[in-house]
Amino acid sequence: MVNSLIEETLALEPGGIQKGDFIRRPEAEGEDKPEVAGMIISDLASAGYTYIYDTITREPSLCNNNMLSSQLLLKRDNGTPVFTRAKPEVPVWRGTFRCFLHDASVDRKLFNTMGLPVCKKGTLPNQFQADNHARNKHRDEWAAVSAMRESAERAEDREAQKLMMDAIVERRPTPAVRSSVPVPTVKEDVQPEVPTGHVILSTEATAKRIYSICSCGVKMWATTEQKLKNKVRSHQGEGA
């Protein structure tokens, strides 16, 4: 069992140099240069490397065997070891939130046309950390995408305002034309006017935005619930 544990924790030599690799490739003699003999690695000596694991976080680390004994002797304040060679039975917990520049992003085709790079980070713990990662690691790209989204949102706001104004104009009564012929006053049984207003029929959400559909046919979009509520209140106010 001990031998099996050792075999599992042994790691390959890091770096790209391996036995049999050329240090210098041979070159034939030319008119203005002499022949150059090739040099190849015939043997590679190293102490080797071993995987060790943090006893709390279970994160793996690559340790040179010359330093292995000293690393395994490190203790925490409570006297427990910092590292162990035993591979944890429970793997390290990883998040599932991706960077907005990830290859699997729904906007990847658009980002490709913008020349934005691909980020492989896809194990972030939550959306806050994903946004924080974007602001710190991809500052320029995040600013460009944020500006594009804000511009699209302003365009949607202008379109929503135009639709509301069009609806107001369509419902505005035609001014009455005064007649020169006197008309006798007839008292009629007039029913009280029932006020009409804008009624929200449904509220839906997509991957990035939410929207509400009004009874007048207007669809209002927003990126957050608060912004959508503000749009709905403004829209319902003109129909009160």
Over residues 229-240, the pLDDT tens digits come to 888 777 777 654
217: left (phi over 0), alpha (psi -120 to 50) or beta: left
106-160 residue pLDDT tens:
999 999 999 999 999 998 989 999 999 999 999 999 999 999 989 888 888 888 8
As a whole number of angstroms, the longest Cα–Cα distance in the chain is 123
For every residue of 59-88, DSSP letters joined together read -EEEEEHHHHHHHHT-B-TTS-BSEESSPP
* Single pTM value for the model: 0.40
**Residue 82 contacts residue 75 (beta carbons within 8 Å):** yes
Classify residue 200 as exposed, middle or buried by CB count within 10 Å of its CB (0-12, 13-18, 19+): middle
Give the start-to-end residue ranges of the domains of the chain. Answer: 47-92, 94-137, 153-169+199-240
